[in-house]
Structure 1
Amino acid sequence: MSGLLPFPPHTLLDAIQVVFLLFAGHALMDYPLQGEFLSTCKNRHLLVLRNDPTRPVQIWPWCMTSHCLLHAVAVWAVTGCFILACIELVLHWFIDLAKCENKTTFVQDQALHCICKIAYVVAAMLY
């Protein structure tokens, strides 16, 4: 499957465009497409605080995985690379878990996600 742009990128301009689309995909998946349900339910601590019987704490890993799958699909759509999508799924899961466990701040969380996207492109260019 091919992505939206040439991947791996062949020129610096290609690389910048891929990073731009990866960032845009991240913004789309993290804000409008995450929604209140996934935002709350991927965090076990928020589920405990809310004590909502319709949202038992046991759903948090499913919600975290669903959120991270959306990000993985965005990476796959842009790059056409299933392996990068799998890497994104795992990295996004652990980065968001760290935020939900109050190990990182919102800014650190977003910076780590951006660093991952840049690293994908740099690694692809070097490979």
Structure 2
Amino acid sequence: MKLDVLALMIFAHALADYPLQGDFLARAKNHTAPICGVPWYHALAAHCTIHGGFVGIITGSLALGLAEFVIHAATDYAKCSGRISYNTDQAIHIGCKVVWASILVI
């Protein structure tokens, strides 16, 4: 596993999930309680694009960036649906970073 890449992805995750998400995206991406006039899927896609972009830039892999986008979207959708908890959501996100860093050494 590339520990330097993993550390950067975890840092980027914290940055993207907290200050770069903010209250607007956190509320707007929730399909169960959408903000009037804001399509929830636009907000969710924007949030996941930030995450996927960070992974792609840090790993140098478009494929891993796209994988992050898709899995992050599915995970956040499940969290907003009440199917998984906040802690499970975060565990999946960090687990993905471990997988991406592991793939880089294969």
Quickly name the TM-score band, shorter chain normalised. Answer: over 0.9
Unpaired runs of 5+ in structure 1? Answer: 1-11
Please, what TM-score do these two structures have when normalized by structure 2? 0.94
5+ long unaligned stretches in structure 2: none
Q: Is residue 38 of structure 1 aligned with residue 18 of structure 2?
A: no
**Residue by residue, what CA displacement relative to the aligned partner does 1:61-113 show, whole Å, maximum 9, x if unpaired?**
11100000000111012111111111111010001001000111111000000
TM-score norm. by structure 1 comes to 0.79
CA distance in 2 between counterparts of 1:36 and 1:67 reads 12
For 1:102, the equivalent position in structure 2 comes to: 82
The answer to whether 1:80 aligns with 2:60 is yes
Mapped pair 1:29 → 2:16: yes
Give the aligned partner of residue 6 of structure 1.
Answer: none
Structure 1 ranges of 4+ moved more than 2 A: none
Structure number with bigger Rg: 1
| CA–CA separation in structure 1 for the residues paired with 2:28 and 2:55 | 23
Question: In 2, Cα distance between the equivalents of 1:44 and 1:83?
Answer: 27
Query: Offset at 1:30?
Result: 0.3
What is aligned with 1:111? 91
Superposed CA offset, 1:34-75 (max 9, x none): 01111000002222xxxx6xx23x600111000000001110
Which residue does 2:40 correspond to in 1?
60
How high is the sequence identity, in percent, across the aligned residues? 34
Counterpart Cα distance in 2 of 1:76 and 1:122: 15
